Amino acid sequence: MIDLERSPHHRPASGPASAQAGHSSRRLGHALVVAWLAAVLGGCDQPAAGAAASGPENYELCAQCHGADGRGNRGANAPSIAGLPPWYVSAQLQKYRAGHRGTHPDDVGGLQMRPIARALATEADVEAIAQHVSKLPAGPLPVTLSGADPARGESLYPTCLACHGAGAEGNEALKAPPLRGQADWYLATQLIHFRRGLRGTHAEDVSGAMMRPMAAALPDDQATRDLAVFLASRP
């Protein structure tokens, strides 16, 4: 992942602290992945019959990074997933599973999420967890990025609304997710990832290929932060 706080366009003041946070969150992520893979492999001894776990059961794993309420945890690079529509959650889980997302060596967050998605045993597990996540209540999140201008974000948003909707509520027919109520640091990171080609470049990632040129056409990196702060605070 691109470290937003250490981008060349940003003040160096928070550099060492955020570098430390990055290291400890990577350690946390690795520890959780190892723990989960051990649990999954241990579970292989059990009979296969009825092995498909329910959404709520599998959610205990997700909660370790995304939080019990699904509203995300920046320290673990984990976005809010609460209330995301089931079609988007299952599509993204399938992308991580297939390697269409989360394989670029600089995509720290994607590399953390991918083994978790792959550890879901069956397609039925993917659908069940997507249904469960979609029912967790979403809502506006606090602004965490400094030095962003939400008014400029709002002025840039008209180029996005054809796909993401006037209220940033998303559009299933266009496979465009809701953006309102998503964490600002995550939205800005993903826009940078699309701009740099860490996401949306795999040949079979059709919906990612729709989004990539939109991020690339933003006037500057600062626009990713301005848009992110505008979107995160929308109800």
CB 88 within 8 A of CB 33: no
H or E element in which residue 58 lies: helix 55-66
Q: Does 77 bind ligand HEC (CB under 6 A)?
A: yes
Residue type, 137: P
Does 207 help bind ligand HEC (rule: CB under 6 A)? yes
Nearest approach in angstroms of CB 146 to ligand HEC is: 19
**Is position 210 an interface residue for ligand HEC (rule: CB under 6 A)?**
yes
DSSP annotation of 63 reads: H
CB-based contacts of 70: which residues, under 8 Å, 6+ apart?
A: 62, 63, 80, 81, 82, 83, 133, 136
C-beta closer to ligand HEC: residue 10 or 126: 126
Cβ contacts of 52 within 8 Å, gap of 6 or more? 121, 122, 124, 125, 128
Considering only 2, 53, 62, 183, the residue that binds ligand HEC (CB under 6 A) is 62
Backbone φ and ψ of 75, nearest 5°: -60, -25
**Interaction pattern, residues 134-153, with ligand HEC; x per rule: CB under 6 A:** --------------------
Q: d(Cα 91, Cα 88) in Å, to the nearest integer?
A: 5
Among 103, 127, 104, residue whose Cα is nearest residue 115 = 103
The answer to whether residue 64 forms part of the interface with ligand HEC (CB under 6 A) is yes
Find the shortest distance in angstroms from Cβ 210 to ligand HEC.
4
Identify which range of 12-20, 45-53, 136-144, 204-212 contacts ligand HEC by CB under 6 A.
204-212
Least separation in angstroms between CB 5 and ligand HEC: 16
Exactly one of 179, 183, 192, 232 binds ligand HEC (CB under 6 A); that residue is 179
Answer yes or no: are the C-beta atoms of 181 and 165 closer than 8 Å: no
CB of 26 to ligand HEC, least distance (A): 10
33, amino acid identity:
V
Q: Which residues bind ligand HEC (CB under 6 A)?
A: 29, 32-33, 58, 61-62, 64-66, 76-79, 81, 89, 92-93, 101-102, 109-110, 112-113, 116, 120, 129, 133, 159-160, 162-164, 174-177, 179, 182, 187, 190-191, 207-208, 210-211, 214, 218, 227
